[in-house]
Structure 1
Amino acid sequence: MPNIDLSQLVTAEDKATTARAAKYADLADLRWQRETGGLDLPDGLSVTTTREAQAQIASTVQNISAGLITEPVAWKLASGWADLTAAQITVIAGAVTDHVRCCFTAERNVAGQLAAQPGSLSGIDLDTIFGTAYAQAAQQWS
């Protein structure tokens, strides 16, 4: 009789736990991709939303408020170069802030939905569920 180390067997419960953890990691990555993937504003401007761009936008608003920068502000948007007024920069900053908040709210809401589901979560379509949660968050703050 061969020596089999049963402690090395992977149980169905272990597989489900690993699959669930992977689904949560996929959700976090989806939120990050959406958060940093850019934002199209209603006026046709396309804004970069990388973490660096978020910081630059926030810093520019702060510097305008402190009188350290005067308008127009030369800004490279995802849609091209623009000379922006202080009001436009402030609108962009608000839109980016709302976008980031919606991304995190959507992730939290979807994580709650995942937690309520049994098993490995293999049939869950994160893109669709996240999109719905993002849209709900956006309605909440509009």
Structure 2
Amino acid sequence: MDIFETVLPFDARTHRQAATYTDTPDPEHQRTRRVWGVEPIPLDELKAARKAVATDLRWQKETAGILINGMQVATDDRSKTLILGKRAKGRENPDMAFRWKAASGAWVELTGAQIIAIADAVADHVQACFDREGDLHDAIDAAETAEAVLSVDIHAGWP
């Protein structure tokens, strides 16, 4: 006898198909109807998934670059490392001129003092991204229901 399987409709944001089902004979169609159960996603799993999305958003915002005095500055990990290295040189000699390639591909002349200011702005941007992620994780952790977890707006408030 064939088995005809169905799953009851459910909100996939808060529920999932259960591992249990109910079989009911359907002799008219010479089959068995199997209806899979639906269960709520445990709150701790829902929170972990939502925090993972917030963490991914932080990474995207952190590494998307920033605009400083009209110059696009890359903030990917390699660029942050190069900027910090150049910052150390700029501290040694704030008046020294450095030829720097902006994220746009344009070459610019920057003083050590300007490099320090850029490095500080990049560091502030990165910290603001982590601060926002931490605030979101705190709000998600404080949520007591699935609806409250989902109501945390993880897309707003980023630097």
TM norm structure 1 = 0.74
Structure 2 matches for 1:87-98, cutoff 5 A? Answer: 87-98=113-124
* Higher percent of residues as helix: 1
C-alpha contact 2:139 2:152 (8 A) present in aligned 1: no
Structure 2 matches for 1:42-81, cutoff 5 A? Answer: 43-66=69-92, 71-79=96-104, 80-81=106-107
Give the equivalent residue in structure 1 for 2:40: 12
Identity of matched residues, %: 31
1:13 Cα shift?
4.7
Give the aligned residue type for 1:124.
V
1:8 Cα shift?
4.3
C-alpha contact 2:75 2:122 (8 A) present in aligned 1: yes
Stretches of structure 1 lacking an aligned partner (at least 5 in a row): 1-6, 135-142
Stretches of structure 2 lacking an aligned partner (at least 5 in a row): 1-17, 21-37
Alpha carbon RMSD of aligned pairs, Å?
Answer: 2.4
Q: Which has the larger radius of gyration?
A: 2
Q: 1:38 aligns with which of 52, 57, 65?
A: 65
The reply to whether residue 22 of structure 1 matches residue 49 of structure 2 is: yes
Give the equivalent residue in structure 2 for 1:82: 108
Give the aligned residue type for 1:91.
A
CA distance in 1 between counterparts of 2:116 and 2:63 reads 19
Give the aligned residue type for 2:122.
V
- Partner secondary structure for residue 59 of structure 2: helix
Structure 2 matches for 1:104-119, cutoff 5 A? Answer: 104-119=130-145
RCO greater where, 1 or 2, for CA within 8 Å and sep 6 or more? 1
* Higher percent of residues as strand: 2
1:33 Cα shift?
0.8
- Structure 1 residues 108-117 or 71-80, which shifts more? 71-80
C-alpha contact 2:90 2:116 (8 A) present in aligned 1: no
CA distance in 1 between counterparts of 2:129 and 2:57 reads 9
